[in-house]
Structure formats: structure tokens, C-alpha cells
A = this chain, B = another copy of it.
Amino acid sequence: MARKTGSHSEITGPKIRAEAQRLFARHGFAAVSMRQIAGAVGVQAGALYLYTPDKEALLFDLLKTHMDELIAAWHAEPGGGDAHARLERFVRFHIRFNLERAEAVFLSYMELRNLSPENFAVIEGLRKTYETELEAILKAGQDEGVFLIPDTKLATMAIIAMLTGVNTWFREGGRLSRATVADIYWDMVRKSVGA
């Protein structure tokens, strides 16, 4: 059977998500109405409800997609190597991916409180999955005797916070390129785990 092209969700889905993300990031979830999102997309508010049951479902969709894509992108990175090489890859990957998705990252931190408890648990679970990827590298390095880490769980949280923090101050065309920033953060992370 021929694939149906131009169906409603295929055409407007990405646009709705892009406009919702932009508006939520700029004004905050609570301050944005479904009517505003519809206006930005160029459809009637009623048409939005063909795509999503409500505004919270739209926010959850954005946050979940972001986490799914983050985890998939990390899995698509070349694997192998020792813990030292894998940690370097993680550091460079995390900075690069997050800088490319600055709006989604911002939303992911800002609007967690607006999710229902069930949806919050899903996002928390995905975060845990991602954190476990880093913690596995730290534990491997600990076992290989190349890292010296008092607590791999805390080191995981510390490293992720440090790396995600780049999003709060990095400006394109500023003093340092993304590559130089990644070099410097890798130097700090490497030392912080005693490698």
C-alpha cells in the first residue's frame, strides 16, 4: 500500500512542536496558551487538539523526544576503547549535543515541574538511563585503576552539571570556539576523576 503523504500529523506535527518549544522557552509553559501556539503555527486552536490532547501532553512530548534523541545520539557514537577514551567521548558529545539543542535543554530543566507525576517519572527514568551511561564509564575506569573517584554516583552528577552549564554562558562568536571549550572541559573532567 502506498504511504499516505501529506497527512495532517506529518505536516503540522514538527511545526507545532517547534513553535511550542520556542514559545515555552521564551515565555514559560504557564504563560503560553494553546491559542498562541496555534497562531504561531498558522492553524485554528481546534486543529491543535487533533495533534495533542492538551498543553501538558505537548510539553511531555517535547521533553521525552529530547531525552530519546539524546540517548539515541549517544548510542550512535562510536563505541569501544578504554574508560579514558570513552569518558573523553562522553564529555565532547554532551557539550556538542546540548549546545546544538539549547532551547530543548533549557525547557528540560525549566518545565519539569509542569509535568504530571506519571510523565515526570518517565522523564526522570530517561535521565537516569543517560546518567547510568556515564556512571558505567566511571566505574569501568575505577575498576581498570585509571580513575580515582570517591563516589561514582556523585561524580556522574557533578560532571553532567558542569558540562550542561556550558549552555548557560556559551555565546557563538565569543572568545572561545566550541572545540576549545570542549578541550578545556575535558581537561578539567579528566583531572577531576584523577586521570
Cα A157 to Cα B181 in complex, Å, equals 12
Chain B neighbourhood of A166, CB < 8 A: 157
Interface residues of A in 93-145 (CB under 8 A from B): 109-110, 113-114
For residue A151, give the distance in angstroms from its CB to the closest CB of chain B.
Answer: 5
Segment touching B, from A14-22, A70-78, A80-88, A183-191:
A183-191
Whether A168 lies near B158 (C-beta < 8 A) is: no
Tell me if A52 is interfacial: C-beta within 8 Å of chain B: no
Whether A160 lies near B165 (C-beta < 8 A) is: yes
Whether B30 lies near A184 (C-beta < 8 A) is: no
Tell me if A150 is interfacial: C-beta within 8 Å of chain B: yes
Question: Smallest CB-CB separation from A31: which chain B residue?
Answer: B30
Question: Smallest CB-CB separation from A131: which chain B residue?
Answer: B169
The A contact surface, by secondary structure, is helix
Whether B188 lies near A155 (C-beta < 8 A) is: yes
Tell me if A192 is interfacial: C-beta within 8 Å of chain B: yes
A151 touches which one: B28, B155, B165, B184 (CB < 8 A)?
Answer: B184
Give 1 or 0 for each of A142-162: 1 = CB within 8 Å of chain B CB. Answer: 000000001100110111111
A192 touches which one: B29, B114, B188 (CB < 8 A)?
Answer: B188
For residue A124, give the distance in angstroms from its CB to the closest CB of chain B.
Answer: 11
Give me 7 A-to-B residue pairs in the complex whose CB atoms sit less than 8 angstroms apart, sorted by A's number.
A151-B176, A157-B168, A158-B162, A159-B162, A189-B192, A191-B191, A192-B192
